[in-house]
Amino acid sequence: MGELKADVLVLGAGMVGVSAALHLQARGRNVVLIDKHERAGEETSYGNAGLIECASVFPYMFPRDFSQLLKYALNRSPDVHYHLDALPGFLPWMMRYFLNSSPAGALRSAMAALPLIQRSLSEHEALIEEAGVPDLLRRTGWIKLFRAETSLAKGIRELERDRAYGVTGDVLDAAAIAVREPNLSGDFAGAIHWPAPGFIPDPGGLAKAYAALFLRKGGRFIAADARTLVQGDGGWRVAGPNGALVGRDVVVALGPWSDQIFRPLGYDIPLRTKRGYHLHLAPSGNAVLHHPVLDSDRGYLLAPMNRGIRLTTGAEFARRDAPPTPVQIERTLPMARAMFPLGDPIESQPWMGSRPCLPDMLPVISRAPRHKGLWFDFGHQHHGLTLGPVSGRLLADMITGQSPFTDPKAFSVERFG
């Protein structure tokens, strides 16, 4: 068997990896995209809420309200669930997450991510146009519902804070909610409609469309085991089905599985996963959902996907590979049925995926300091769909020696020592 040589091997064909491959290809690099699946977007990139969150300036930080923390500690909350046996491994990471979630830490992370957030939708728009899939982008924005006056007031304060960074939002009363979503039922104190974010009704399909564009432009996509990666005289090698895949550079974009590469190479990066679940259901009768809607006080979101109404959950803290425990679906499904007329489930079992998270809620987009030609592009927490293309641009600028559009220092792996 022979060798297949390229300039760059990209490990992982989720939204982040496919986007990096496209941007490297656009800069003249010969790229091989590698994934354990034969199709792109089969893991975390498939199972999200479908939002290109160009209005989410501040990331999801650790709560500091005692009553909320107590509710989470009792493990009865619909939006957060944990496995008791996973806590010993999670506690050091959660302490770092807590410390980074101070007001100063949250602002620091937000300002670092702001250049990526601001360009996130335009980067997708360019790729969607080039891929020829305009039907996969809806410009509806999304709606955040509040059942309590206190949570509505907090949401309005956060909106006013975010307006300073160019974010727009409309505060809705009960009548305005009914105009935008006439099939919703519930006692809502109010809502905020964020009009700017894009909505993708088939996130996995969008990753596949980008991969198809990559192939049309001469890229190669090969199913192989990224864990076989080794460094050799000619660069980096992965065992392929018909011989070695060899590249001068390699990009680790394996999301929650990136530790399977960086740990054996000696990098101690505090990557953990927040698991999440979704279930598609048919709408009942002629009911229509026009926007993704977040029931913020109850911790679930409904999104009008092509496949059906997707019920998505909050975070589950568990070992990445532990068996699924979809208790959050069980807790939120009756609430969701009371809010919107849902029919039968489309799948027999809920889907489960993992979000790759770092304790400062910023990704690693960086050169590896101790290995020539090794690059990292992972840890995009809840925003892998949002940040995939813009992260790919930043990484491709760095690899090809071009001036990056923003200072990449905040995303360096060396921030962890």
**What pLDDT shows up at residue 92?**
94
Closest to 335 (Cα-Cα) out of 317, 358, 308, 313 = 313
Write down the pTM of the prediction.
Answer: 0.96
Span 263-289, average pLDDT? 97
Span 363-384, average pLDDT? 97
- Residue that the structure tokens 């001068």 belong to: 248
> How many other β-carbons are positioned within 10 Å of the β-carbon of residue 116?
26
Please, which pLDDT band fits residue 192 given cuts at 50, 70 and 90? Answer: very high
**What pLDDT shows up at residue 68?**
82
**What pLDDT shows up at residue 63?**
82
Judge whether residue 186 has pLDDT over 70. Answer: yes
Q: Between the CA of residue 126 and those of 32, 180, 190, what are the distances in Å?
A: 22, 29, 35
Please, which pLDDT band fits residue 66 given cuts at 50, 70 and 90? Answer: confident
- Residue that the structure tokens 């048919």 belong to: 282
Cα separation, 396 vs 417, in Å, equals 24
Query: Do the beta carbons of residue 351 and residue 328 sit within 8 Å?
Result: no
pLDDT in tens, 281-322: 999 999 999 999 999 999 999 999 999 999 999 999 999 999
Judge whether residue 199 has pLDDT over 90. Answer: yes
Judge whether residue 61 has pLDDT over 90. Answer: no
Please, which pLDDT band fits residue 69 given cuts at 50, 70 and 90? Answer: confident
Angle between helices 103-131 and 15-26 (to 10 degrees): 60
DSSP 256-302: GGTHHHHTTTT-----EEEEEEEEEEEEPTT----S-EEETTTTEEE
**What pLDDT shows up at residue 380?**
97
What is the residue extent of each domain of the chain?
Answer: 4-46+204-270+360-416, 58-86+139-198+272-357
Residues 6+ positions from 320 with CB-CB distance below 8 Å: 256, 257, 273, 275, 354
DSSP 75-97: T--SSEEE-GGGHHHHHHHHHHH
| Domain 58-86+139-198+272-357 grouped into CATH 3.40.50.1980 | no
pLDDT in tens, 312-369: 999 999 999 999 999 999 999 999 999 999 999 999 999 999 999 999 999 999 999 9
pLDDT in tens, 200-213: 999 999 999 999 99
Cα separation, 24 vs 7, in Å, equals 10
Judge whether residue 196 has pLDDT over 90. Answer: yes
**What pLDDT shows up at residue 1?**
63
Query: Do the beta carbons of residue 133 and residue 306 sit within 8 Å?
Result: no
| Domain 4-46+204-270+360-416 grouped into CATH 3.50.50.60 | yes
**What pLDDT shows up at residue 26?**
98
- Residue that the structure tokens 């760095």 belong to: 398
pLDDT in tens, 154-180: 999 999 999 999 999 999 999 999 999
Percent of the chain with pLDDT over 70: 100
Query: Would you state the structure tokens that stand for residue 164, as one six-digit string?
Result: 């300073």
**What pLDDT shows up at residue 111?**
96
